[in-house]
């Protein structure tokens, strides 16, 4: 695994100082290692992308769409390999790994369609003043750096890579050092499709590599998904260059359950919102607000549901939830269990790391959590659910919005008029009503407040990689 960097159409060995150990979280053991890219190699990747930009942005929209469809088809050809790798390196259950792959395929197919529509986006602009004409051009923003996280590799990179290529940008992709292998598929596919050298570059590494990319003055834009702490560093780098950024950051999202809900159905939505990907989601609905009338019944059934979840190694067992993806994340979640004990929180389920090989924790539920608890206000990034009760719709909205984050929320109610009203009042980027967190490529993704800047997916995702040019001509 030494030649894990794809630069200017070639696979090269890493020349950095860091050795990246790739782990199986269900065993807590490494199964591969690779050398990080050096700062010089990051510069080579940006230079290659810059060199390829002119030709790539001037290809026809239909040609770019053909490449994007090729990515979708080639991902499908590698289906079992990629699903197994998601299970092994991330600890995802098979059904989750399958959805990840389908999501990536759908993303490339969708942006292939949007790419074909790009010529119609250039339009005349009517002017009130006589004697002039004006038209609008949508142009690629240029060379973009893409930094993606470890919780949804392959997926998050598709959300960035597909629209960037569709727009006519060239890219340098940096995967997470925790999950550096699966994005190699994109370089392999680029080779198989004959994608022009330099259009796609992939550099792996830790903080040094990420900093080298985010600070590089050869980028025209940077798109980052990850933690708020690293996102703030990325934003500082961008500010030094006056460079645009898209930031998809953390969340501490609410699920609001009214007392007209079917309790069993509500439990299904709640469990999915906190245990999918072992709770390692920026969109995890980790704050449960339940109306007084059904609180006792719901918490009792929710406790049983969490205790009955099958937790184990997805490669050897049929499981509902796998391990946390890294030892660092396992230690972080365990520290919140300790904080909960210090705060005297009422634990109904879980609240502990599991005594077995690998980085497993129990699905956890705390009841009647004070609003000033760290577990109520801070993003944990694990299967840890905190519950509070509410009396009125107004109280539920106020408590749901009382957060420095604003990524997503879920509303559960048989009164659809009320559910829609509450959805409109919530200060977030995406709301589900009576649903699991189904994410469709046609919709937007992103948040308000501390959850980031900009949007991905849908036509907004394409716009993020385009600049607007107006051409005005005097007729006189």
Catalytically active residues are 248, 282
Q: How far apart are the first and last CA of the chain?
A: 65
258's tokens: 């009214």
| Structural contact between residues 183 and 148, judged by C-beta atoms closer than 8 angstroms | yes
* Cα–Cα distance list, 381 to 140, 295, 415, 426 (Å): 35, 25, 31, 22
* Cα–Cα distance list, 91 to 87, 263, 277, 324, 328 (Å): 5, 30, 8, 7, 14
- 3-class secondary structure for the chain? CCCCEEECCEEECCCCCCEEEEEECCCCEEEEEEECCCHHHHHHHHHHHHHHHHHHHCCCHHHHHHHHHHHHHHHHHCHHHHHHHHHHHHCCCHHHHHHHHHHHHHHHHHHHHHHHCHHHHCEECCCCCCCEEEEEEEEECCEEEEECCCCCCCHHHHHHHHHHHHHCCEEEEECCCCCCCCCHHHHHHHHHHCCCCCCEEECCCCHHHHHHHHCCCCCCEEEEECCHHHHHHHHHHHHHHCCCEEEECCCCCEEEECCCCCHHHHHHHHHHHHHHHHHCCCCCCCEEEEEHHHHHHHHHHHHHHHHCCCECCCCCCCCCECCCCCHHHHHHHHHHHHHHHHHCCEEEECCCECCCCCCCECCEEEECCCCCCHHHHCCCCCCEEEEEEECCHHHHHHHHHCCCEECEEEEECCCHHHHHHHHHHCCCCEEEECCCCCCCCCCCECCEECCEECCECHHHHHHCCEEEEEEEEECC
> What span, in angstroms and rounded, lies between the C-alpha atoms of 146 and 386?
33
For residue 470, the tally of other CB atoms under 10 A from its CB is 9
């Amino acid at each position: 695994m030494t030649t894990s960097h794809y630069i200017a159409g070639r696979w090269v060995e890493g020349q950095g100082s860091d050795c990246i150990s790739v782990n199986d979280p269900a065993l807590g053991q490494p199964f591969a290692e690779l050398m990080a890219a050096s700062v010089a190699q990051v510069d080579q990747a940006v230079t290659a992308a810059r060199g390829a930009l002119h030709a790539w942005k001037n290809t026809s929209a239909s040609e770019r769409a053909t490449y994007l469809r090729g990515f979708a088809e080639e991902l499908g050809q590698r289906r079992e390999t990629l699903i197994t790798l998601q299970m092994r390196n991330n600890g995802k259950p098979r059904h989750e790994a399958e959805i990840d792959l389908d999501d990536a395929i759908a993303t490339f197919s969708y942006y292939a369609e949007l790419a074909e529509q790009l010529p119609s986006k250039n339009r005349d602009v009517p002017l009130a003043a006589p004697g002039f004409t004006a038209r609008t051009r949508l142009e690629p923003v240029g060379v973009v750096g893409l930094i993606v996280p470890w919780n949804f590799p392959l997926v998050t990179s598709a959300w960035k890579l597909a629209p960037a290529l569709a727009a006519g940008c060239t890219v340098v992709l940096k995967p997470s050092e925790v999950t550096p292998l699966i994005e190699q598929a994109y370089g392999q596919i680029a080779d198989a499709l004959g994608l022009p050298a330099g259009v796609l570059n992939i550099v792996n590494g830790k903080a040094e590599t990420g900093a080298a990319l985010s600070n590089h003055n050869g980028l025209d834009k940077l798109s980052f998904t990850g933690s708020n702490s690293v996102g703030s560093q990325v934003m500082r780098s961008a500010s030094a260059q006056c460079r645009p950024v898209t930031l998809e950051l953390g969340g501490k999202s609410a699920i609001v359950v009214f007392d007209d809900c079917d309790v069993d159905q509500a439990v299904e939505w709640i469990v999915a919102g906190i245990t999918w990907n072992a709770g390692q989601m920026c969109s995890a609905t980790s704050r449960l607000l339940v109306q007084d009338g059904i609180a006792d019944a719901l918490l009792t059934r929710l406790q049983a549901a969490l205790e009955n979840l099958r937790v184990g190694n997805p490669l050897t067992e049929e499981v509902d939830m796998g391990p946390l993806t890294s030892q660092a994340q396992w230690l972080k979640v365990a520290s919140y269990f300790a904080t909960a004990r210090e705060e005297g929180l009422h634990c109904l389920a879980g609240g502990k790391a599991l005594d077995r090989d690998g980085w497993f924790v129990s699905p956890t539920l705390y009841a009647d959590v004070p609003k000033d608890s760290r577990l109520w206000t801070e993003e944990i990034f694990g299967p840890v659910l905190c519950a509070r009760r509410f009396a009125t719709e107004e109280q539920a909205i106020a408590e749901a919005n009382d957060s420095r984050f604003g990524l997503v929320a879920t509303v559960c109610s048989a009164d659809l008029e009320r559910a829609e009203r509450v959805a409109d009042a919530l200060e977030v980027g995406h709301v589900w009503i009576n649903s699991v967190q189904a994410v469709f490529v046609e919709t937007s993704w992103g948040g308000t407040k501390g959850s980031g800047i900009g949007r991905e997916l849908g036509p907004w995702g394409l716009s993020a990689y385009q600049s607007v040019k107006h051409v005005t001509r005097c007729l006189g």
